[in-house]
Amino acid sequence: MTQALPSSLIVIPCLNEAAHIGALLDQLCPAAARLGARIVVADGGSTDGTLAIVGERLKKDPRIILLHNEKRIQSAAINLAVARFGDGAQYLIRIDAHGGYPDDYCDRLVEEALATGADSVVVSMLTSGSGAVQKATAAAQNSKLGTGGSKHRHLSAGEWVDHGHHALMRISAFQAVGGYDETFSHNEDAEFDYRLRRAGYRIWMSGRTQMVYYPRASLKGLYFQYLGYGRGRAKNVLKHRVIPKVRQMVPLLVLPVVLLAAFSFVHWIAAVPLLIWASVCLGYGLATALSERNADIALAGVSAMVMHFGWSVGFWLQLLGLGTRRGVA
């Protein structure tokens, strides 16, 4: 059956992923051979040894291509790879360097696209960590407290959706809607899905495979990540005049609540909303740790607070036209 599968282009946007890129390429090469695919590593200017690792792998496997992404961000990386190497391939498979995948991940995506006729196949993204901060953040990101119940943060049995974690796209559909908007350093996937649906294309969430995401290992990194997510969501709202969903609107209150607490010297009641938010988050983390008998995730509430605050700050800054974009590949 795999010999009859249409060819694909596997693209890995990356920046300073020396800890992951070697093992990831080793895992993807057999799948590329089965699918008749090329693997494009679109690097945004790594300085940690990533380029040397990719260079060694491409000497052993001609399917691997190293592409310099001078714009650094992921949206530009995918667009560049499709423009350079998309001819002759039917499907684009997007792989995040900072993730974990089943060995048959690419095969299942293509098979499911063919079975459903979907123009895009998205997947559930489960989060896992190894250090104290990563474990706490993973627990927060896998919970409704941290993500508001986003569908792609939980396992699916297979269903048509509006958005999900990008995995596979029909290249003709990707090109028809203009690819990713390169003014987006974050949230480019949700913005793309909005245009894809408006153009009449369909998105299927896989029930046969999923990926594992490894979160930021520091609260500072987590904050800046969600600052970017908040900015990206606001850019999407401004561009398409869409109203955020309820689960996205609730975190918008966090920055106003924090600012309001600054006036608690006038009256103590100004600090009450902040105390309620903090109590809910911290209490959730402790309750989760107790219910799962896992002390490592007791600080999930702290991670959730950092996520909420960063997202809220980013959204308001973008909405008000303040600050500069933090471009991260």
Domain ranges of the chain: 2-217, 220-319
* pLDDT on residue 144: 79
* pLDDT on residue 149: 55
Judge: domain 2-217, CATH 3.90.550.10: yes
How many C-beta atoms surround the C-beta of residue 230 within 10 A?
A: 30
Q: Are strands 38-43 and 8-14 parallel, antiparallel or unpaired?
A: parallel
Which pTM value belongs to this model?
0.86
Q: Give the 3-state secondary structure percentages of the chain, helix then strand then coil, rounded to 5.
A: 55, 15, 30
Q: List per-residue pLDDT tens for the chain, 329 residues long.
A: 444 567 899 999 999 999 889 999 999 999 999 999 999 999 999 999 999 999 999 999 999 999 999 999 999 999 999 999 999 899 999 999 888 999 999 999 999 999 999 999 999 888 887 888 999 998 898 887 876 656 656 667 789 999 989 999 999 999 999 999 999 988 899 999 999 999 999 999 998 999 998 888 899 999 999 999 999 999 999 999 887 777 778 889 999 999 999 999 999 999 999 999 999 999 999 998 998 888 888 899 999 999 999 999 999 999 998 865 443 33
| Residue 190 near residue 135, CB atoms below 8 Å | no
Tally the residues of the chain.
329
